[in-house]
Structure 1
């Protein structure tokens, strides 16, 4: 059975050690240009954000005030809008939109989880404490021969990355 190798089509390959050094310099030039462009883009985003932030904050304040007014009126007229029995409906239709009341599902808030767990266990309420089992990959890496050959486990070793790191001076601000 033949093995098929996937290969990339190389566009431009240096032909000598000097060419390779030149390509590394070029990679550094391109990386620095990339950073200049990214910085320019971020400066433009910051300027746009600064320009629109006060406008958006003012609009947010107006939206909240308007919604609070609508809620106050609707709360005062809820029976008229929805009927005596809440089961008749929790949504009121207007020409311009709807308002609705929705009951959130029950939730639990826990502070100091470790002490709550200890208290539940001390009180014999272990059914409220979840125990989670998971694969210990670190232990497997320490003993790869023990788990080698087990279905579903693949030990990956010897993967090598190639890194091009052009020289450049670091400057502190």
Structure 2
């Protein structure tokens, strides 16, 4: 028995002449421009909505910033108590967790050519890449020597983070 093959009917508009093809192409162009107008109108509305909500959120963001700065000041003043004399870098409070994080150290350079010359004169070629560029990774690995070079400073910044506890409402059936 032969297999039945089902095919979905194709409902395409196919031009039947040269003139009809020209008309179809013109219609495609008109439809593309119409779609672009719709997209532009959508983007205008999205921009207005975004601006409205950003304006509403701006004072709240300022309040969060002020409260966070106040919490940080209090926590810094009470850091020894909160961190068990520096044994930990966080504290669990009733409403959330605070912690201090050290960012990785970073090398800052002023006067790159002078630093390269200084490294060569001091015999610290491990701080120079073969393309005559400063090897910041090597400076981070040997910070004591690197900071003796004029123009080199190594800084590290500590971030203060507040993580409020959050819960979700339970759905009751």
TM-score for the superposition, normalised by structure 1: 0.58
Give the superposition deviation at 1:53: 2.3
Runs (4 or more) in structure 1 with deviation over 2 Å come to 9-16, 108-111, 121-131
Give the superposition deviation at 1:76: 0.6
**Residue 60 (1) aligns with residue 49 (2):** no
On the 8 A contact 2:119/2:128 being kept in 1, the answer is: no
Distance 1:45 1:34 in 2: 16
**Counterpart residue number, 1:128:** 128
C-alpha distance after superposition, 1:15-43 (max 9, x if no partner): 32212211211111111111111111111
**Counterpart residue number, 1:148:** none
CA-atom RMSD, angstroms?
2.7
**Counterpart residue number, 2:102:** 103
C-alpha distance after superposition, 1:36-82 (max 9, x if no partner): 11111111112212322221111110110010011011001111111
C-alpha distance after superposition, 1:90-136 (max 9, x if no partner): 0100121100001111112346xxx62585268534753365xxxxx
On the 8 A contact 2:119/2:127 being kept in 1, the answer is: no
Give the 3-state SS of the residue equivalent to 1:101 in structure 2: strand
Give the 3-state SS of the residue equivalent to 2:107 in structure 1: coil
Unaligned runs of 5+ in 1: 1-8, 132-173
On the 8 A contact 1:120/1:126 being kept in 2, the answer is: no
Give the 3-state SS of the residue equivalent to 1:14 in structure 2: coil
Identify, as 1 or 2, the structure richer in strand.
2
**Counterpart residue number, 2:50:** 49
Distance 2:53 2:65 in 1: 18
Give the 3-state SS of the residue equivalent to 2:91 in structure 1: strand
Count matched residues. 118
Distance 1:103 1:129 in 2: 28
Distance 2:84 2:107 in 1: 32
